[in-house]
Amino acid sequence: RRPKKAGDPQIGRSRGGLTTKLHVAVDSLGNPVRVILTAGQISDIGQAGALIKDQPAEFIVADKGYDSDAFIETITAQGSQAVIPPRANRLNPRTFDRHIYKDRNLIERFFCRIKQFRRIATRYDKLAQSFLSFVHLACAFVWLA
């Protein structure tokens, strides 16, 4: 066997095949603001701070995967209000505004829009850089539409 070529890292590989995870922040209109690509086994909360860094917002709306005390402290230190439902195993459940939380569907609708690009939905690209560049191209189409 010949040795691996040096260069861009490949998209993560697991038992199910090639896996990646897109971490995306969208604005109040559902337009992408920041996109981060990681391997499939990386947790959501690990990229949460990088997603909201230097993004002024009145509310940060996220799902239960982002419910951690450290992340909520980061949000309040930034001057925003966290609208994140508490996990079921939390000893002291926090309250959250259910009316504002309904806007979380914006991120789900964004992912539905970019998965219309078959190349993103099926992850044809082998290298992470080429996959992320096409995701950015799809995000530009979302901004224009």
In a domain, 128, yes or no: yes
Q: CA distances (Å), 118 to each of 64, 112, 121, in order? A: 29, 11, 5
Instruction: Categorize the per-residue pLDDT at 48 as very low, low, confident or very high, splitting at 50, 70 and 90.
Output: very high
Instruction: Categorize the per-residue pLDDT at 40 as very low, low, confident or very high, splitting at 50, 70 and 90.
Output: confident
pLDDT in tens, 7-36: 556 666 655 556 788 999 999 999 999 999
Q: CA distances (Å), 143 to each of 32, 110, 119, in order? A: 8, 10, 19
In a domain, 3, yes or no: no
| CB 12, CB 18: distance < 8 Å | yes
Cβ atoms < 10 Å from Cβ of 53: 11
CATH number of the domain within which 81 lies: 3.30.420
**pLDDT > 90? residue 3:** no
In a domain, 120, yes or no: yes
Residue reference for tokens 């909520």:
72
Range of the domain at 86: 12-144
**pLDDT > 80? residue 71:** yes
Kindly state the average pLDDT of the residues 61-69. Answer: 92
In a domain, 1, yes or no: no
In a domain, 2, yes or no: no
In a domain, 7, yes or no: no
Give phi and psi for 36, each to the nearest 5: -130, 135
As a whole number, the mean pLDDT across the chain is 87
Query: How many structural domains is the chain composed of?
Result: 1
In a domain, 65, yes or no: yes
- Residue 145's pLDDT is 81
Nearest one of 81, 83, 21, 11 to 46, comparing CA atoms: 21
In a domain, 64, yes or no: yes
